[in-house]
Amino acid sequence: MPKFHVKKTSLGDDQTSLIFKGKVIEGPINRGMILEIPITEAAVISVKVYDIVHFEKQKDEMKKVGLVVDFYGAPDDLDVIMGLNILDEELNVIEVPAGSEV
Sketch the domain layout of the chain as residue ranges: 3-94
Q: How confident is the model at residue 4 (pLDDT cuts 50, 70, 90)?
A: very high
* pLDDT tens for each residue of 66-82: 999 999 888 888 898 98
Give the integer Cα–Cα distance in Å for 28 and 25.
Answer: 9
Please state which of the four CATH numbers 2.30.30, 3.30.980, 2.60.120, 2.40.30 is assigned to the domain occupying 3-94: 2.40.30
**Size of the chain in residues:** 102
pLDDT of residue 85: 87
Q: Is-contact 51 65, C-beta < 8 A? A: no
How big, in percent rounded to 5, are the helix, strand and coil portions of the chain? 10, 45, 45
User: Does residue 46 surpass a pLDDT of 80?
Assistant: yes
- What is the C-alpha separation between 29 and 14, in angstroms, rounded? 23
Helices (H), the chain: 75-83
CA 49 distance to own-chain centroid: 6
